[in-house]
Amino acid sequence: MDHKITEQYELWRKRATEDVDMVRELELMADNPEWMKDAFYRELAFGTGGLRGIIGAGTNRMNIYTVAKASQGLANYIINHYPEEERMIAVSYDSRIKSERFAQVASEVFAVNGIRVQIYPQLMPTPCLSFAVRRLHCAAGIMVTASHNPSKYNGYKVYGADGCQITTEAADEILSEIEKLDIFTDRQRMDFFTGLKAGLISRIDESVYTAYVESVKAQSMLNMSNEIPRDVAIVYSPLNGTGLAPVLRTLKESGYTNITVVKEQEQPDGKFPTCPYPNPEIKAAMKLGMEYAKKYQAELLIATDPDCDRVGIAVRNYAGEYTLLSGNETGILLLDYICSRRMETGTMPENPVMIKTIVTTDMAERIAKHYGVKTINVLTGFKFIGEQIGKMEANGCADSYIFGLEESYGYLSGSYVRDKDAVDGAFLICEMFAYYKSRQIGLMEKLAELYRVYGFCLNTQHSFLFEGAAGFAKMQEIMQLFRSEQNAFGGKRVLDCLDYRNGLNGLSKSDVLKFLLEDHCSVVVRPSGTEPKLKVYISVSAGQRLEAVQVEASIIAEIKAYL
């Protein structure tokens, strides 16, 4: 065992006594060197996604000490960049294990540093945090969440004054501040309830939440002449996360009357007992919801992830079974709906813009072009979409933005927040579904129509898990191998390779490779910025679905063998 690891372990045994769960874990760790190594071989990485890791004891874990250290680094950054009167931060948290405690610990650090804290009085979605940062004119914001990860994870997202996740430059500067600190001696905290009494910590007023809901409702694409059936049968699952209150409030205030909530997944629960991987991208997480949909004869199932920034759907098909739509499929349906409705209602701006990530279906660009909408492609991560919205606002043309989408079930139709918003997504999906139903069109029929008009496009995403120190090194090795000569994937010749490692097309530097293949196909490979995974995105254009499925199967089989 590395001497530095055992030295750190002994220090934590002596100093990390505040959390009884950690004390017990450290005792058990003494007889498990691999566990100890993984917990202490590095410090939990801080980047543009903030922190994310397994909950537990150690420098490579999410716990009150790593949260406090990161918060002190962020506090130093705020003090360095903002005058005293502008030092205020918004805080929110989701349903995950220890989320509320981590939010309180962070607030205690900010308060003792003279940074006024505005914290939601109960758990709230990520988009509500982004909204509060801008609404309350905060210097920054934090959201305690691990998004859609399994229950053993938690995380800490950092937002700038623009309501967008921090830039690479800001993350580097905050990391620099964090690295100066000793995790036990360089941290101060003010008791949370003492901070409340002193006025350094305040609860965010209900009016902010109401203003957020009103902003979502304002995204409706209907006008006074549009009548839609608001009694359509809808099943909704918040997957034991934060979506229950805002999604139901938004839909009910908009007149929807026939919503059934999946009882087992209704209340916040960080253990996610019926969906161990609480991600609407995953069929297993949607299984219970589909059973409810069948039982209650609902035509639409909607589910949001724990921090309610991703939304997935299933729709009933001709055979009475339920089909899960991919993030790309839902995205192109929403894009076409928004564009067509704006054209019909005369609300299309003069120079409309749609923003998508480079791994999101290129079919979206063809739809946008049809409606005269400009497409901006950005790196993977909705923060880059938010960044573009901010640039448009700075140039006085924020109204030109009409939609942003990413294949990982993230959508945003307005500039009121700067991150993906599943409340907005759920609201627009219900409206779109009801609007087409009033015209005897199902979402599957509409999707088929889009494929007839723009050509069929199959987009898939595959994740390969590489946990721990060995896994991290393996991912780096694999990326280097991909950067060596690669002539073909699944029989499709490589026409070009776009390497974003040093920046490309005006985008930031990122460890991403995009292989452009013949016949309008592509493969993108990148390590996840928030999970110990290597992600592969495949796009296949073909005359019909069967052909595309066969080509995609050949490509992924070759990649799996390669890995």
Whether 36 is in a domain gets the answer no
- Give the Cα separation of 166 and 159 in Å (integer): 5
Whether 154 is in a domain gets the answer yes
Whether 497 is in a domain gets the answer yes
Residues 236 and 342 in one domain: no
Q: Enumerate the β-bridge partners of residue 140.
A: 89, 160
Residues 319 and 332 in one domain: no
Beta strands, E only, 473-520: 488-489, 492-499, 513-517
Structure confidence at residue 182 (pLDDT): 95
Structure confidence at residue 530 (pLDDT): 65
Whether 368 is in a domain gets the answer yes
Residues 489 and 517 in one domain: yes
Domain of 396? 327-420
Whether 440 is in a domain gets the answer no
Whether 335 is in a domain gets the answer yes
Whether 49 is in a domain gets the answer yes
Residues 48 and 188 in one domain: yes
> Do 240 and 267 form a contact (C-beta atoms < 8 A)?
yes
- Residues ≥6 apart with Cβ < 8 Å to 490: 551, 552, 553, 554, 555, 556, 557, 558
Read off the CATH number of the domain in which 172 is found: 3.40.120.10
Distances (CA, A) of 178 to 76, 89, 165, 472: 9, 18, 18, 22
**Number of domains the chain is built from:** 4
Q: Which helix (H) or strand (E) holds 160?
A: strand 153-160
CA 335, chain centre distance (Å):
19
Residues 128 and 164 in one domain: yes
Residues 332 and 197 in one domain: no
Residues 204 and 257 in one domain: no
Residues 76 and 106 in one domain: yes
* pLDDT 10s digits, 174-183: 999 999 999 9
Please give the single-letter amino acid code of residue 437: K
Residues 393 and 317 in one domain: no
* pLDDT 10s digits, 484-499: 877 899 889 999 998 9
Q: Which pTM was predicted?
A: 0.92
Structure confidence at residue 239 (pLDDT): 98
Residues 294 and 309 in one domain: yes
- Give the Cα separation of 352 and 36 in Å (integer): 54
> Which of 300, 324, 348 is the endpoint of a domain?
324
Structure confidence at residue 362 (pLDDT): 84
Residues 412 and 513 in one domain: no
Read off the CATH number of the domain in which 492 is found: 3.30.310.50
Residues 538 and 496 in one domain: yes
Other beta carbons less than 10 A from residue 323's beta carbon: 16
Whether 202 is in a domain gets the answer yes
Structure confidence at residue 542 (pLDDT): 86
> Which of 420, 437, 466 is the endpoint of a domain?
420
**What DSSP string runs through 47-104?**
BTTBEEEEBSSSTTSBSHHHHHHHHHHHHHHHHHHS-GGG-EEEEEE-SSTTHHHHHH
Each residue's pLDDT, cut to its tens digit, for the chain (563 residues) gives: 688 999 999 999 999 999 999 999 999 999 999 999 999 999 998 988 899 999 999 999 999 999 999 999 999 999 999 999 999 999 999 999 999 999 999 999 999 999 999 999 999 999 999 999 999 999 999 999 999 899 999 999 999 999 999 988 899 999 999 999 999 998 889 999 999 999 999 999 999 999 999 999 999 999 877 889 999 999 999 999 999 999 999 999 999 999 999 999 999 999 999 998 999 999 999 999 999 999 999 999 999 999 999 999 999 988 888 999 999 999 999 999 999 999 999 999 999 999 999 899 989 999 999 999 999 999 988 999 999 999 999 999 989 999 999 999 999 999 999 999 999 999 999 999 999 999 999 999 999 999 999 888 999 889 999 888 788 888 888 888 888 877 899 889 999 998 998 887 777 788 899 998 998 889 999 988 767 899 999 999 888 889 999 999 999 998 888 77
Which residues are designated catalytic? 147
> Which of 274, 306, 324 is the endpoint of a domain?
324
